[in-house]
Chains A and B, each alone.
Chain A
């Protein structure tokens, strides 16, 4: 098989990715065993693998996974609905947009996680504090990318719509929105990253709820293999999200 055929096959890139991951893990294992990496800071990958069973059985990982997934999903749905709506509003009302776009961009790069005490006061030590923190962190990129996508719609496509006498709402639903969709999804993906980081981070900080709290617990018990095993589940949550957004995007707008 030549290189082109390998690139075309669906299995090969996946196998290559997993292979590289396995190789990296083996390398880390080897480096720890020969003493290049301190085993009291980074646990052996083989120990982490063994810790999975313990974490799953003893720490109610399924329940925690569900809770973190629920919090991240709720916050993710909120950033999508609110972010796209606000983006749309700012796109329609030019003066509002000029007045606020810089602020939204500033908020996007602000370490909002530091505001957690304020949210604790408002929402108490509950899942809502975590959801709202995830929401605040993830919503700016959705707003910004929604505006960018709508503004970036090619002039001629809008003219096609106008020449077919589309009404304002039709022009939006049939042309502006589908044209902006790929960019909007970039924003949603970006927003979900921030949301997930903040959800797990705040769980960790306020010691409440799902996987973040577990990571906190295990780290405090100095159970490093367990900590890393728990982190793997956070990665799993993020994988779930990316698969989901990809499905939704394909369903809303098949290929380009």
Chain B
């Protein structure tokens, strides 16, 4: 990760309005897919600036373009309008400072847990002994000690997702994009793992973007929450979460926490309702046509 030290840290920590203060700046992204039913605007004029070390949660109804936005930022999709810059440098293709955890199952089935987690270190050319030791630490971090030599097929869905998280964390990216990493975990594991990820994020001052459907999780972890609209995916609102850090789990019971949750829920309900109606009318039309 060469650019970690060289990334500019200029600007006041709180100034999200000045574009140059953002380690990651997304400027007017429009992404359109060609589908059999015609063009589909998945992401529409999304702009945001993420401060160094910030934890930004992204929340929005299913199909609103969250994953697509991440793929644009991660340099995995081309042919979009707008620009993404990392530390002032325009992104063309995957940027070495960005690490991603994907929504779909993404472990390598032909590698054991430890070989999966050590993968980015292997690519970085780190000696075998050293990378396996390091991988072990990250495996312990996600609570999978004892499973080092198992293959993904021998693990549960939630365990595989934790392997994928550990693999990305092992590369120690300056900017971490996580697409619903905790979706297939039970509530307790989700909380524990969320705490751990938050702790690493705070320790390493990692800039983190997290897609989630869980409002409580978003409020608990994030400095800001980006609420997106249903199709086309636009920025509906950016909510600054002004809760003290470090946040323990009892922050959940505070009055301010409840207010944030209620506020975001009402935004989201509006969009989700619109989404459901849209889906319903579409299936009705499809039914009438056939």
A residues with a Cβ closer than 8 A to B are 154, 156-157, 159-160, 162-166, 170, 174-175, 178-179, 181, 253-256
- Shortest Cβ distance from A145 into chain B, in angstroms? 17
Nearest-neighbor residue (CB-CB) of B164 within chain A = A160
Is A156 touching B102 in the complex (CB atoms < 8 A)? yes
- On whether the beta carbons of B110 and A178 are closer than 8 Å, the reply is yes
- Given A160-B102, A255-B153, A256-B153; A165-B108 close (CB under 8 Å): no
**Contact assessment for A165 and B123 in the assembled complex, using a CB-CB cutoff below 8 Å:** yes
- B109 proximity list for chain A (CB < 8 A): 256
Q: Are A162 and B75 in contact (CB under 8 A)?
A: yes
Q: Which residues of A contact B71 (CB under 8 A)?
A: 159
Which stretch of B33-41, B92-100, B218-226 is in the interface?
B92-100
Residue of B nearest to A166 (CB): B123
Instruction: From the candidates A154, A162, A178, A254, name the one contacting B76 in the complex (CB within 8 A).
Output: A162
12 residue pairs of the A-B complex, CB under 8 angstroms, read A159-B71, A159-B74, A160-B102, A163-B99, A164-B119, A164-B120, A165-B94, A165-B96, A179-B110, A254-B151, A255-B151, A256-B109
Q: Decide: B123 and A164 in contact? CB cutoff 8 A.
A: yes
Contact of A156 among B98, B106, B167 (CB under 8 A): B106
B212 within 8 A of A: no
B171 touches A (CB below 8 Å): yes
**CA of A212 to CA of B106 in the docked complex: distance in angstroms?**
49
Question: Size range of the interface on B?
Answer: 20 to 34
Of all chain A residues, the one with the shortest Cβ separation from B99 is A163
Q: Are B76 and A175 in contact (CB under 8 A)?
A: no
CB distance from A159 to the nearest CB of B (A): 5
Report A81 CB to chain B, min CB distance, Å: 22
Chain B 57-91 interface 0/1 with A at a Cβ cutoff of 8 Å (1 = within)? 00000000000000100111000000000000000
Inter-subunit contact A159/B102 (CB<8 Å): yes
**Which residues of chain B are within 8 angstroms of A179 by Cβ–Cβ distance?**
108, 110
Q: What separation, in Å, do the CA atoms of A154 and B108 have in the docked complex?
A: 10
Majority secondary structure of chain B interface residues (helix, strand, loop or mixed): loop
Give 3 nearest A-B pairs by CB, closest first.
A163-B100, A156-B104, A178-B110
Q: Hey, which chain B residues are within 8 Å of A160, CB to CB?
A: 100, 102, 106, 108, 167
**A163 with B108: CB separation less than 8 A:** no
What distance in Å separates the Cβ of A154 from its nearest Cβ neighbour in chain B? Answer: 8
**Quick one: closest B residue to A170, CB to CB?**
B123
User: Which residues of the partner chain B approach A166 to less than 8 Å between Cβ atoms?
Assistant: 123
Asked if A156 and B105 sit within 8 Å, CB to CB, the answer is yes
Q: A156-B106, A256-B109 are in contact. Are A163 and B74 (CB under 8 A)?
A: yes
B76 cross-chain contacts in A, Cβ below 8 A? 159, 162-163
Complexed CA–CA distance, A68 and B109 (Å):
37
Q: Which residues of A contact B167 (CB under 8 A)?
A: 160
Chain B residues, CB < 8 A from A156: 102, 104-106
Contact indicator per residue, chain B 149-169, by CB within 8 Å of chain A (1) or not (0): 001010000000000000110
A160: nearest chain-B partner, CB-CB: B106
Q: Which A residues lie within 8 Å of B104 (CB)?
A: 154, 156
B94 touches A163 (CB 8 A): yes
Closest to A179 in B: B110
Of the listed residues A159, A162, A164, A255, the one surrounded by the most CB atoms of chain B closer than 10 A to its CB is A164
Given contact pairs A159-B76, A255-B153, a sample of 11 additional A-B residue pairs in the complex whose CB atoms are under 8 Å apart: A157-B106, A159-B71, A160-B100, A160-B102, A160-B167, A162-B94, A164-B94, A164-B119, A174-B119, A254-B151, A256-B153
> Chain B residues near A256 (CB, 8 Å)?
109-110, 151, 153
Interface centre among A160, A179, A181, A253 (most CB of B within 10 A): A160
Measured CB to CB, the closest approach of chain B to A228, in angstroms, equals 42
Complex Cα–Cα for A157 and B171 (A):
16
Bound-state CA distance A165–B2 (Å) is 12
Q: Which of B168-196 contact A (CB under 8 A)?
A: 168, 171
Contacting residues, chain B, for A170 (C-beta < 8 A): 123
Which chain A residue shows the least CB distance to B98?
A163
* A181 interface neighbour in B98, B110, B119, Cβ under 8 Å: B110
